Structure 1
Amino acid sequence: MSNSVITKRALAAALKELLQTTTIEKISIAEICQRCGLNRKSFYYHFQDKYQLVNWIFAQEIGDTLLETKQTTVHTQLSLAFCTYLYENRMFILNALHASGSGTFYDYLCQQIQPLIKRTLATSQKSILNTDDAASMVSQSFLSAVYLWLRRTPPEKPQAFLSELISVAEVLSVRIQQLLDPPPMQ
């Protein structure tokens, strides 16, 4: 293993440990470096900021495997694996998602989820005029649901969360279709 990978992993372990008790905004680069015995120069050689480090951690641990799948649609097994990772890394995820905006973990996750949603929308028989906007809306809604789920004490198991999410989506889909259908002629 190269020194670069060893350094990145040391920084990642330090940040993950800090994120068990503190939100991302309250953690400084100095704290991360102090925790793993490295200097700020080492940190900035590998990462632009702490948000990029969080994104790297996610990509290394599960993101690359899950989000670069060649599946054409999001399926239950992929969703369950993703939610299981989130559940098992609950405090890390909650404290990393605490910040929003450009370059944050929230922004990164939205960008990673959107291609999966676009591929799923592309398989639909119905034409969706703006898949970019639809994918953005769905990814943000999903992350909001994930955040609320993980904040529960204790959160239900991933399978139960997905079942609940699917049930809500089905009810909403039927209701929206009812609202969009023209009333029957009398």
Structure 2
Amino acid sequence: MAQQYTKKMIRQVFVQMLNKRPLNKITVKDIAEACEINRNTFYYYYTDVYVLLSEIFQTELQIVIDKYNETLSWEESFIVAAKFAVDNKTAVYHVYNSMQRETLVNYIYNVAGNVMIRFVENVSEGIPASEEDRKLIASFYQCALTEMVLRWIAAGMKEDPDTVIRRIGQLFAGNIEASLRHSAALHDS
């Protein structure tokens, strides 16, 4: 119980610091002092701040996975995923502008992939689309969503992601199902 509390405190303090200053300006010593623990305690849980950062993104990904269910649209699932970015804009921006950008990119890519794979599988129920085409369709939307989020971050995260994601959903409504039906038709001919 105490270990979980300590890890949670380390993560929270790190995110708070990341919301105030760039990643390269945060040291293990800073985190340990703010948490009122010694550095060895930090190192007991994490080898460095980059492993800590990676765990935070993995935890956020797991939240999206746990909250996803068949009643959620891909848009609602992606909005759940965007909550961390919205709540921690400065922290996300600091990671985006750091040498650890790839950690953020991988997180966004994994969230988009998880959401789209599940959504495509749900939509394909009863449509005899090939497995290969289902994966291709999910991958296409995964890449498109990832790039859109990265451009949103690069532009300073000014637009409301909820509004943008819902609008994309409205504009492309039915496209995934239509693509799956095209796949089925192509395999029948």
* Superposition TM-score, scaled by structure 1 size: 0.67
Matches within 5 A, 1:4-23: 4-23=3-22
Q: Which has the higher helix share?
A: 2
Q: Counterpart amino acid of 2:36?
A: G
Distance 1:66 1:157 in 2: 19
Q: Is the 8 A contact 1:54 1:96 kept in 2?
A: no
Matches within 5 A, 1:117-156: 117-122=116-121, 123-124=123-124, 125=127, 126-127=129-130, 129=132, 135=138, 138-153=141-156, 155-156=158-159
In structure 2, list runs of 5 or more residues that go unmatched.
180-189
Residues 1:113 and 1:158: Cα distance change in structure 2 (over 3 Å): closer
Matches within 5 A, 1:1-186: 2-58=1-57, 62-69=60-67, 71-72=69-70, 75=73, 76-98=75-97, 99-101=100-102, 104-122=103-121, 123-124=123-124, 125=127, 126-127=129-130, 129=132, 135=138, 138-153=141-156, 155-166=158-169, 170=172
Distance 1:70 1:78 in 2: 6
Offset, 1:45? 1.1
Q: Counterpart amino acid of 1:94?
A: Y
In structure 1, list runs of 5 or more residues that go unmatched.
178-186
Provide the aligned C-alpha RMSD in A. Answer: 3.5
Q: Percent identity?
A: 18
Residues 1:109 and 1:157: Cα distance change in structure 2 (over 3 Å): closer
Residues 1:70 and 1:156: Cα distance change in structure 2 (over 3 Å): closer
